[in-house]
Chain A
Amino acid sequence: MTKTIVPAPVRKSVQVKAPVPRAFEVFTQRMSHWWKPSHSINASPMVAAIIEPCAGGRWFERGADGSECQWGRVLVWEPPARLVLAWQINAQWQFDTELVTELEIRFLPDGDGMTRVDLEHRHLERFGDKAAAVRESLDSPEGWGGLLAAFAGQAEA
C-alpha cells in the first residue's frame, strides 16, 4: 500500500562571521575541513568530502585507500546564494539510488559582512517508506542507533 505521509522538513539556521561568497565557498569547496570524519559511510577512513561544483555533479567522500562512496548529487548550483543537494543516504547508512531526499542551503547577507545560512532537509517521508524493511539493519552497531550513540558520546566528551 502506498501512502503519502508528509513530515515537516528539518530546518536549521546559523549565522557566520564571513561574507556570502566566503560562506558558500567554505560550505561547498572546503567541506573536507568541517565535515566530521565520523559522519562517513565508507569502510576506509574519510579523507575528503567533495561536492562537484555544477548541477548534476556528484557529492561523495573519498577514503584513505582511494575508494569513493556516493552521498548524493548536486541538484541546483547557484553560487553564492543557493545550493540544493540530493541526500541519498538511507536508513542503513548506505548510498541508495532509489532514495532522494533534498537538502537546500541558502546563503543570505546578514549585515556587516555576516551571512545567514538556512538549511532545509525535506521529503523525509521517503525514509519512512522503507521503515519496516530496514528495521533489522538499524539494530546493528553501524545503524542509526550506533550513530546516535556516537553523537551522545561526543556531546558529553
Chain B
Amino acid sequence: MTNVATALSALGDPTRRRIFELLAEGPRPVGALAALLPVSRPAVSQHLQVLKSVGLVRDHADGARRVYQIDPAGLGAIRAWLDQFWDRALADFKAEVESTGEHQE
C-alpha cells in the first residue's frame, strides 16, 4: 500500500543509496559493485534484492552473472503514485466536463 514510502525508505540506507547512485551511472554486475563498496558481496546482493523489491532497480542475466540497472520505468513507486493520482483526477475531470456540457455558461 505504501509503495512510495517503502521505495524512499529503501534509499534511506547509505549503502543502498550508494549502490543506486552507482547504477545511475550505468548497469553493473554484483561483483563490480562490491569492488567499489566497503561491504561484502553477499551484503551487496542483499541490498540489491531490497532495491529490486521496491521497483527501483531491475536485473537481467548476462551469461552466468546478473547485471543490475536502474529500473527504466524509474523511481517506480513515485511513478506508480502519480499514475494513480492522474488516473483519478482525469476521471473526475471527464465526469465534470460531461455533466456540465449541456448548459454552457
- Provide the bound-state CA to CA distance between A39 and B86, in Å: 11
Interface size class of B (residues with CB under 8 A): 35 or more
- Provide the bound-state CA to CA distance between A134 and B104, in Å: 45
Total interface residues in chain A, CB < 8 Å: 47
Whether A14 lies near B78 (C-beta < 8 A) is no
Whether B1 lies near A36 (C-beta < 8 A) is no
- Which single member of B2, B93, B101 contacts A27 (CB below 8 Å)? B93
Closest to A147 in B: B81
Q: Given the complex, which residues of B lie within 8 Å of A36, measured CB to CB?
A: 88-89, 92
Chain B interface, DSSP helix/strand/loop, else mixed: helix
Q: A72-93 toward B: CB 8 Å interface, digit per residue (1/0)?
A: 0000000000000000000100
- B residues 82-105 with Cβ under 8 Å of A? 82-98, 100-101, 104
A33-B96, A125-B74, A135-B5 given; 13 more Cβ-contact pairs under 8 Å: A14-B90, A16-B93, A17-B97, A30-B96, A35-B92, A124-B82, A131-B75, A135-B9, A138-B4, A144-B2, A144-B4, A148-B1, A148-B84
- A residues 14-30 with Cβ under 8 Å of B? 14-18, 22-23, 26-27, 30
